[in-house]
Amino acid sequence: MLKKVLIVDDSPAQVKLIHSLLEREGYSPIDLNNPLQVEDTIAAEHPALILLDVVMPERNGFQVCRELKNSAEYSAIPVILVTSKDTPSDRYWGEQQGADGYVTKPFTREDLLRAIRRFV
């Protein structure tokens, strides 16, 4: 059975890029452009890992990560922030929200896969 990976990013181009990379590596990607639907999608799909953008409208990735990690139901699912926010304070803030990993855009195929393989 393929490992499901939830991709949450408001950029369709970014989702398509990550989706095709994951598919080629034998993962089962689940695409989501709306950060307001994360919990419903997790409940329906049961992903092994979440790749989460930070800069999104209505609900940013830091908020999503914090809420997932504070939830008894979802806290065990690894969350990797995949973002253009690359300052030390951004990384620190991501860790404070409970992120399990941090990959900056633009990323290389190897960078993303290395982060994913730590968890699935």
* CATH number where 99 lies: 3.40.50.2300
Confidence of residue 2 (pLDDT cuts 50, 70, 90): confident
Sign of CA dihedral 76, 77, 78, 82: negative
Tell me the residue range of the domain where 10 lies: 4-117
Query: Where are the strands (E) in 10-91, listed by range?
Result: 28-32, 49-52, 79-83
* Euclidean distance between CA atoms 52 and 32, whole angstroms: 10
Per-residue pLDDT tens over the stretch 35-79: 999 999 999 999 999 999 999 999 999 999 999 999 999 999 999
How would you class 108 by CB atoms within 10 Å of its CB: exposed for 0-12, middle for 13-18, buried for 19 or more? Answer: exposed
Rounded to whole angstroms, the Cα distance separating 120 from 117 reads: 5
Number of domains in the chain: 1
